[in-house]
Amino acid sequence: MAGKPGLHDRRDGQARHALIRRLVPLLTVFLLSSSSGLLATAQAAEWRSDYALRPRPDGPGLSSLAPPVGPETYLADGPDSPEARNGWLDAMRAWRAARLKEIGYHDELYRRVDLSWTRHVFTQDQLLAQDRSLYDPDSGRYTVDRALAGIGSRFGPLDSVLIWPAYPNIGLDARNQLDLLRDMPGGIPGLRSMVADFHRRGVRVFFPVVIWDRGTRDEGGSFSDASMTLLHEIGADGINFDTLDTVPDANRKAGERLSPPIAFEPQFDPQNASLADSAISWSDWVLWDDLKWPFVPRVSRVKWLEPRHATLMTDRYARFKINSLQTAFLNGAGYVLIENIWGFWNGFSERDAEAVRRFTRIERAFSGLMVSRDWEPLVPVLQSGVYASRFPGKDRVVWTLANRNDYAVDGEQIALPVRPGARYYDLWRGRALHPEVRDGQVVLRFSMEALGFGAILEDQSGAPGPDLVSFLSAAAKDANRPLDSLSRATPFARQSMVPVAATPVWRGAVPDGMVRIPAADYDFRVNGIEIENGDDPGTDVQFDWETSPRRSHRHRVHIAPFLIDRTPVTNDAFRQFLQATGYHPKDDHNFLRDWKDGTYPAGWANRPVTWVSIEDARAYAHWAGKRLPHVWEWQYAAQGMDGRLYPWGNTWDASAVPPKDTSRTPHPPSEVSAFPAGASPFGVLDMEGNVAQWTDEFRDEHTRAAILRGGDYYRPAGSMWYFPKSDRLDEQEKYLLLSPGRDRSGMVGFRCVRDLSDAP
């Protein structure tokens, strides 16, 4: 190793998005009290604004939490200087022996043949269930080949996928995380078929368990048994334990009864007893804002404790990911490909995606060496600012290298002991090396790009076999295109609003049940309340007058006069629509779920109709000669021209809205005329606090989403991670769309508008 200590400050900067540093010690308190809060702070790099995670406006607050330091951190600092390296390595070995003894470690899990596949997982794509590459709502089919083609064209072979079905929509209604899994298109048979499609293409499938989901519907009995049974039924290979570095005992015990076994994957590296229970994990420590990237690369403690543990690194919010990519390669670790971050697209640059493809191909080809118990991090090299790790086997050794300098480094790179009969290969450039023997050492010369990678193979097994020849040929072809020739740009995904056709102009008297809203030049101001993603371009939605999706919106818009329903559409009004048209959706899962035998429950005639998708609402509106309101029309009808926070004024009035329900089995919506004190300046009712209401839909290449307005009454307790809701008129809720059956909700209804002439 040669180099210099100190912080490695990149021109591009690296995003530091703080979540919660080590949740395990806090979870018990957090789950027992709905008033408990967890802090998430964030420190920006040069190119992004400072921001904090945003709590639900009405939910638990965020409090300060200092991250732990010392041996409890996930990464170990490297030595201060080349001269200090031997003492540093001795200290690392002593720490490993002490920690393994402290946790009572045993390696039975790593000797199991039926979980040995985890050691060959070097890429995992976190695929949002609502990602448009995975499911086609028009054909009603999962499109696994389309998803894999898009991933493979940029990152190469995919070893595993983590399909994320619940967050960020969970908590809109009382469906728990397993309900939302069951509500995926096609139900359990559809999921089983989709998982089988991944398996036929050699891809392992993981699903998450979100341990903080304790405020939605009670599953009854043992949640751990239910979740393990369900995931086993659909053929899942693994479980990602969201926010945990520990496998819950109940899940571990439930898993012991399953065959084949399900692999446990904590979100954070387990340096505790769970190291013996989980063969794979994420290294999600790269999110912490206190964890700056030093010039001297850090070492994964969990990889050091148990080299056979498959660790997958992430740096989801960074735009230029060179720090985490080099750290992964030096640790023999894989990488998590997270680009669709809850509907916010933070894509890999062309350079970073290609780096992942190339270094994971090396790890995959030499996977047996990547788990060597004798691996050594930060071994001596000859060039300043270049770092290497050594992964030895019986007759082969691989060195992975990273150039931390902003300039290319050529010439002599590493000196090794002479090995009789050894051959040397540059695995990054795909060619044989011709060493110089000097002073009893083999000296290897090769080039490394600025902020680049390198890998060499020492092979004492004889002439190269066909696999090595093929590998070198592919690497040599890639070397003709240096990483530095590829773009570092990470463009956000531009969105478009789904067009809404105008209705026939209404020229008669104001119909019963509607209110006339006058024309105005309206100062439309609204903010998205997504918990994550800060103020990055790509967060929230992009209105037609904007150049990018963004969290904060302001625009003076001319609004022609229109008519709006005084109340949300009721069950009785929707029944009349069904009787008149015979409407029945193609995807009828959850359609009018509260109804029985074709009608609503007794006494529900004047309650808002719910469990209708945005497509169902549009069908009703078309029949009625109406349409769904645009977001700004809805807000103007609720707010008037004075910018008030609530329909009735600027001070919260609990008597103007239905009471909030924090139970696990919420009551049905209130009657639409029950709270006249909540009327808007124009006399429109139920604009806040009863049911959320469909408005505009937005689409980009990766995701569909609708804006909900109306701040429904349901607030599941106990976690800041539930779907964020607000009663304020200057805040909007973004709801990701998947399929009509999945999108329908007991907390979402709608109201309609009619166009009037803007002429005098």
Residue 504: its pLDDT value, please?
Answer: 95
Whether 636 shows a pLDDT value over 50: the answer reads: yes
User: 431: which 2 tokens?
Assistant: 């060619």
Look at residue 291 in the predicted model and tell me its pLDDT.
53
Torsion on CA atoms 333, 352, 202, 255, rounded to nearest 10: 40
Q: How far apart are the first and last CA of the chain?
A: 80
- Alpha-carbon span 311 to 313, nearest angstrom: 7
Chain-centroid distance of CA 643 in Å reads 34
Give buried/exposed letters for 363-373 (b at 16+ CB in 10 A, else e): bbbbeebbbbe
pLDDT for res 66: 36
Please give the Cα distance from 298 to 74 (Å, whole number): 9
Closest CA to 631 of 553, 725, 685, 695: 695
**For the segment 340-360, what is each residue's pLDDT rounded down to a tens digit?**
999 999 999 999 999 999 999
Q: What CA–CA distance (Å, rounded) separates 301 from 76? A: 6
pLDDT given for residue 48 in this prediction: 30
The answer to whether residue 64 scores a pLDDT higher than 50 is no
Enumerate residues 6+ apart whose C-beta is below 8 A from 69.
none
Helix (H, G, I), strand (E, B) or coil at 96: helix
Confidence of residue 65 (pLDDT cuts 50, 70, 90): very low
Q: What is the mean pLDDT of residues 274-284?
A: 93
Of the candidates 29, 58, 95, which has an alpha carbon nearest to the alpha carbon of residue 304? 95
Does the pLDDT at position 457 exceed 90? yes
Q: Can you give the pLDDT at residue 319? A: 87
In which residue ranges of the chain is CATH 2.60.40.1180 found? 376-484
pLDDT number for residue 292: 67
Q: Which CATH class is domain 105-348?
A: alpha beta
Pairing of strands 42-43, 16-17: antiparallel
Length of the chain, in residues: 760
Q: Residues 6 or more apart from 745 whose CB is under 8 A from it?
A: 172, 173, 610, 611, 692
Residue ranges of the chain assigned to CATH 3.90.1580.10: 496-755
Cα distances (Å, whole numbers) of residue 741 to 185, 186, 469, 605: 7, 9, 51, 23
Q: Which CATH superfamily is domain 376-484 in?
A: Golgi alpha-mannosidase II (2.60.40.1180)
* pLDDT(308) > 90: yes
pLDDT the model gives residue 75: 85
Please give the C-alpha separations between residue 404 and each of 6, 449, 450, 451, 567, in angstroms, as whole numbers: 12, 10, 7, 5, 62
Structure tokens at 579: 């009787």
Mean confidence (pLDDT) of the chain: 90
**Rg, Å, the chain Cα set:** 29
Tokens encoding 682: 């124009």
Backbone conformation region of residue 712, classed left if phi is above 0, alpha if psi is from -120 to 50, else beta: beta
Measure Cα distances from 622 to 273, 347, 463, 617, 672 in Å: 60, 38, 73, 9, 22
Helix axes 187-200, 144-155, angle to 10 degrees: 40
Residue in the structure block whose two tokens are 């105008």: 502
Mean pLDDT check: name the lowest of 16-30, 362-376, 387-401, 666-680.
16-30
Compute how many other C-beta atoms are within 10 angstroms of the C-beta atom of residue 557: 16
Residue 488 vs residues 119, 202, 321, 550, 732: alpha-carbon distances, Å: 30, 30, 10, 22, 33
- 116 in Cβ contact with 260 (< 8 Å): no
Tens-place pLDDT, residues 1-40: 655 433 333 333 333 333 333 333 333 333 323 322 222 2
Q: Tokens 């619940």 correspond to what residue?
A: 166
CATH code for the part of the protein at 496-755: 3.90.1580.10
Buried b (16+ CB within 10 A) or exposed e, 646-655: bbbeeeeeee
pLDDT at residue 207 in the model: 98
CA distance 390 to 472: 20
Angle at 310 between CA 306 and CA 311, to 5 degrees: 95
Which residue reads 């592919």 in tokens? 474
Torsion 70-76-77-79 (CA) sign: positive
User: Which string of DSSP letters, residue by residue, matches 703-737?
Assistant: -EEEEEES--SB---S-TTSPP----TTEEEEEEE
The rounded percent of the chain whose pLDDT value lies above 70 is: 89
Task: Give the pLDDT score at 40.
Answer: 25
Distances in Å between the Cα of 319 and the Cα atoms of 305, 489, 531 are: 30, 8, 19
pLDDT of 73 reads: 74
Enter the tokens of residue 367: 């996977």
**Predicted confidence band at 685 (pLDDT cuts at 50, 70, 90)?**
very high
Q: Which of 135-139, 202-206, 313-317, 627-631 has the lowest mean pLDDT?
A: 313-317
Residues 6+ apart with CB under 8 A from 760: none
